[in-house]
Structure 1
Amino acid sequence: MEDRPHSHRTDVHSPERRSYNMSRIRGRNTKPEVQIRHGLHARGYRFRLQDKRLPGRPDIVLPKWHSVIQVHGCFWHGHDCPMFHLPATRPAFWRTKIDANRVRDGLTAAALAAAGWRRLTVWECALRGRVRLPVGEVLDVCEQFLRSAEAEAEIQGPWQGLACKP
């Protein structure tokens, strides 16, 4: 995870307001997650949501395909893309938190693989930002994964090699 320079380093909100804003961030039913769920359902796929019996409570569980789809936010999971920026305020706290999330993601992936589950990770940057992919294209890749024999795959935005911000 690399620090990216900011042109605006000062937080414009009070600590109380920032705390409130952060508390409102959803852990489930995010817009990218809902887009994937609605699209898969419209294509005839049936699934469970956040099955407690599986490691990490994956966002979308497709038992018929013995597959899970995890929709990861680029910030919270420390994705190496233009949508991730380590905050200038309390960077040590955020680095520790995000690094712990990444470690937990690795442990979850290993536990799912050990249990025989196939895993697709859809990154937020695939569905949001200036260089996002069309939702239909992301759903096509999801469907290709489900019908394949691949053990794991990722979908991310087409940002590599681009010098632009979302």
Structure 2
Amino acid sequence: MLLSVPVKPCVRRFLLKEFGREPIAVRANSDLGGILLLAFAKGESVPLEAMELSHDELPDLDNLTPIQFQLGETFRRSALSPNSRVLLTGALMAYFRTCLFFYTLGRRTLFDSEMSAVKLFLKVYNIREDELTEEAAIKIAQRERRERALFKPTPSVATTQAA
């Protein structure tokens, strides 16, 4: 099924740069798929089996700490199902991973060391060792770098001819 979503030109350019040519392939259990599923839910319950998630892919709910957000009047309490909360957990983790990746990418140019950049990220954001170890953080940054390398767009014919 093809889904067409109107976006600003800058958003379209960003998505194509990040994920490759159109149509962008989206799996239901990917980060982008999770965000799209939140839009489809519209407050209704989304069965987890429809997302093709295995038990291992679900977040460990026992080790989570709640965070609260102030939402505007547009949102209604009844619009958030328990399944949507699981999706939001994944979306917020994806946001964290992205921030960690780009922070370490930028700092690596100064330190010439990914480990030093990760250590500084953990220090700047006051993330304790029991919350996220340096080794786990470096693995997240490296995994993000590997996954992003898979989505690099190929040069177009026009770009090749212009050079």
TM over 0.5: no
Larger strand percent:
1
Asked which structure has the greater RCO (Cα within 8 Å, sep 6+), the reply is 2
Given the two structures, how large is their TM-score scaled by the length of structure 2? 0.26
Larger helix percent:
2
